[in-house]
Structure 1
Amino acid sequence: MCYWRRVRNIYTRCGHGVNLPEEEIKCDLVNCKFSPAHRQNCPNCSQTCWQYRQYPQQYSPHIDRLCPTCSNTHR
C-alpha cells in the first residue's frame, strides 16, 4: 500500500528539530488505487482495491551537528 513518510531531523548540538516536507511513497500493487500500477478503469475498484493509504511512516534521525538556522547564525 502507498503511504506518506514524515521525517523530523533532530540536531543534537542545538536541540532543534526541523520537519521535512511529507513525501508520498508509492507501492507497485495493482490493487492499491494510489499505485502507479493500478488500472485507471479498474472494474469494481471500491470493492476489490485498497481505498486508503497505509498509516504514515514517521521517524526522527538524530544528527550530530547544528540545525541549518543555527549554523547560518554562527558563520
Structure 2
Amino acid sequence: MCLYRQVRNVYTRCGHGVTLPDEEIKCDLVQCKFSTTHPKTCKPPSCRRTCWQYRQFPQQYSPNINALCPQCSSSGRT
C-alpha cells in the first residue's frame, strides 16, 4: 500500500528540529487505488470491495544529525 513518509531532522549541536515536507511513497500494487499501476478502469462500487482505499500509517523518522540546523549554520553560530 502507498504511504507517506514523515521526517523530522534533529540537530544535536543546537537542539533544533526541522520538519521536512511529507513525501508520498508509491507502491506497485494493482489493488491499491493510489498506486500508479491501479487500472483506470477499476471504478466503484467493485473497486471499494476489491482494492485498498486507504494509505498505510505514515513512516516516521527522526534522525539525530551531529551538526547545527540550517538556520543556526547560516547565522554563523558555532
User: Which range, TM-score by smaller chain?
Assistant: over 0.9
Matches within 5 A, 1:18-37: 18-37=18-37
Query: Structure 1 stretches (4+) deviating beyond 6 angstroms?
Result: none
Which amino acid in 1 is paired with 2:75?
A: T
TM-score by length of 1: 0.96
Return the match for 1:54 from 53, 56, 63: 56
Name the structure with the higher strand share. Answer: 1
> How many angstroms apart in 1 are the aligned matches of 2:64 and 2:40?
41
- For structure 2, the residue ranges without an aligned partner over 5 or more in a row are none
> How many angstroms apart in 2 are the aligned matches of 1:36 and 1:59?
25
SS in 1 for 2:58: strand
Q: CA deviation at 1:40?
A: 1.1
- Matched residues, number: 75
> How many angstroms apart in 2 are the aligned matches of 1:12 and 1:30?
42
